[in-house]
Amino acid sequence: MVLRDGVLVDTTTQARALLDIGPHETLAWEEVRAALRPFFGPIPADPDSSQMILPAPDDPETRLEITSGGGRRHLSISAPPVGAGDRLRWRVGARELALLRQVMTRTPAPAWLSDDENRVIWSNAAYTDLCTQQGADPATPPFTLLPGDDLEDRVTRASIPTQEGTALSWYEIQSCRIPDGRLHFAQNIDAAIEAETAQRTFLQTLTKIFAHLPIALAVFDRKHRLVLFNPALIDLTRLSAEFLSGRPNLLTFFDMLREQHMMPEPKDYGSWREHLQDVINAASSDHYVETWNLPSGLTYRITGRPHPDAGIAFLIEDISAEISLTRGYRQEIEITQSVLETLEDAVVVFSQLGHLTFCNAAYRALWGDETEATISATDIAEATRSWQSSCHPSPIWGDLREFVLTLRDRAGWDAEIHTIAGERLFCRAEPLAGGATLVRFSPMPCGIVRQCRNVLQSHA
């Protein structure tokens, strides 16, 4: 290779192949130095002596001889002859090298190789395009990477401005150590960053909502560590915020509830541990709902639900007022039923839809000994047919059916019926709250019989 005034003017065929240039292509001295650097290392920009010999770092028998003088610079490379085996292996390696170059050229992810001073000594086309978009020098990476241990691989997140300059574009950069420096691969993670941001925003929104929720919430992750709770959990369980903020696991959480007497006391600690594992398994499969009657008199409803990513969520609700109201309501119903059972009159109650909801012992004795199951399945139509079959013909049965099923305002009325057995009964229909109807059958007193006869005679 011959250079005149810093420009390549003459080369052999082998030299052109080494420099990877065409027959009529010329290079400047700086470009020749850059092309020979991978083989012989750094070459002085202006050799001091008229003759310099540089051996190849990995092959001392291969030498570069530089002769300067008279505005000309002559470069010659001497190397031992290549045998047939080395030539064949070189051809295979050349094909593989061409393939790898095509792969790296078409790889959409930016990749580059940097030296110990973070200077880029190799890069692919995607990296060059990224630098061009950013208006950055390709010799310096556009990403800010924190220094790390050279012996360890690491993954770093870094951001750069977008083309519009109004936002940041995020990349995840994997760096690994190789003999020539550090190899870096960058992958765009804007979608992942947006998803994480949306998740954090959603979690903050849920946290604000849960802060005003009267039901206590405790969410555990797949490792059964507490990751989310609301203030109601502190109020209902009497557990400290410091303890809950420490992210206790499920077993520690329930153990602390037991120590605070905020859950039913187990018979023995061994069975308690087994029961707790059953609770976790049931909550994981969405089958856990339990009512805790606490020693303090409070009643809690505990619901376990599976959480995304194999987590578990527990809802703790204070239902003491509801239970107390239900118990009082049931007690009132039982008292009312007991009172009606003591009446000598036959009493039956129908719902707004005409279903029989209650009857006392006198009713069952009057109209036949029927079981509770049969009575509960009876409606007003079946009941009036049964009554009609045991009585002489009367026009009140149709009126009674219409009275029970009507949705209009109603007023109570009464009538006299005669059973086939010869008994006279006083039938009274009264509207009740909620559209229900009470029908009462009582023996006809003598005074009422005479009064009814007088009324009939006066109308006649």
Sheet bearing 72-78, strands edge to edge:
7-10, 2-4, 72-78, 59-69, 51-56
Q: How confident is the model at residue 453 (pLDDT cuts 50, 70, 90)?
A: very low
The residue type found at 247 is R
Helix 84-106 / helix 125-134 crossing angle, nearest 10 deg: 40
Integer Cα distance of 12 and 24 in angstroms: 12
CB 112 within 8 A of CB 184: yes
| Per-chain mean pLDDT for the chain | 84
Closest listed residue to residue 421, CA positions, set 373, 375, 387: 387
Residue 151's pLDDT is 61
Residue 161's pLDDT is 83
Q: How confident is the model at residue 426 (pLDDT cuts 50, 70, 90)?
A: very high
Q: How confident is the model at residue 150 (pLDDT cuts 50, 70, 90)?
A: low
Q: Is the pLDDT assigned to residue 308 strictly greater than 80?
A: no
Closest listed residue to residue 229, CA positions, set 238, 220, 181, 122: 220
Q: Is the pLDDT assigned to residue 449 strictly greater than 60?
A: no
- Which of 30-44, 113-127, 318-332, 368-382 is the least confident region? 368-382
Integer Cα distance of 434 and 431 in angstroms: 9
Q: Which residue has the higher pLDDT, 28 or 162?
A: 28
Give the H/E segment covering residue 56.
Answer: strand 51-56
Examine domains 206-318 and 340-459 and report if their fold is the same: yes
Q: How confident is the model at residue 155 (pLDDT cuts 50, 70, 90)?
A: confident
Q: Which residue has the higher pLDDT, 70 or 356?
A: 356
Q: How confident is the model at residue 35 (pLDDT cuts 50, 70, 90)?
A: confident
* Rg of the Cα atoms in the chain: 48
Q: How confident is the model at residue 457 (pLDDT cuts 50, 70, 90)?
A: very low
Q: Is the pLDDT assigned to residue 401 strictly greater than 80?
A: yes
CB 119 within 8 A of CB 184: no
pLDDT tens readout for residues 268-306: 656 766 777 777 777 777 778 888 888 888 999 988 888
Mean pLDDT of 223-233: 89
For residue 316, give the 3-state DSSP assignment: strand
Q: How confident is the model at residue 47 (pLDDT cuts 50, 70, 90)?
A: confident
- Which of 70-74, 97-101, 279-283, 297-301 is the least confident region? 279-283
Residues, the chain, total?
460
Q: How confident is the model at residue 450 (pLDDT cuts 50, 70, 90)?
A: very low
Phi-psi group of 261: left, alpha or beta (phi > 0 → left; psi -120 to 50 → alpha; rest → beta):
left
CB 158 within 8 A of CB 143: yes
Most confident listed range (44-48, 252-256, 367-371, 401-405): 401-405
Q: How confident is the model at residue 459 (pLDDT cuts 50, 70, 90)?
A: very low
Fold of the domain built from segment(s) 206-318: Beta-Lactamase (3.30.450)
pLDDT tens readout for residues 339-372: 888 888 999 999 999 999 888 889 988 887 565 5
Q: How confident is the model at residue 455 (pLDDT cuts 50, 70, 90)?
A: very low
Question: pTM for the complete prediction?
Answer: 0.46
Closest listed residue to residue 368, CA positions, set 355, 385, 351: 385
Q: What percent of the chain has pLDDT over 70?
A: 91
Residue 447's pLDDT is 47
Fold of the domain built from segment(s) 340-459: Beta-Lactamase (3.30.450)
CB 217 within 8 A of CB 302: no
What is the CATH class of 102-188? Answer: alpha beta
Q: How do the domains of the chain map onto residue ranges?
A: 2-80, 102-188, 206-318, 340-459
For residue 271, give the 3-state DSSP assignment: helix
Residue 281's pLDDT is 78
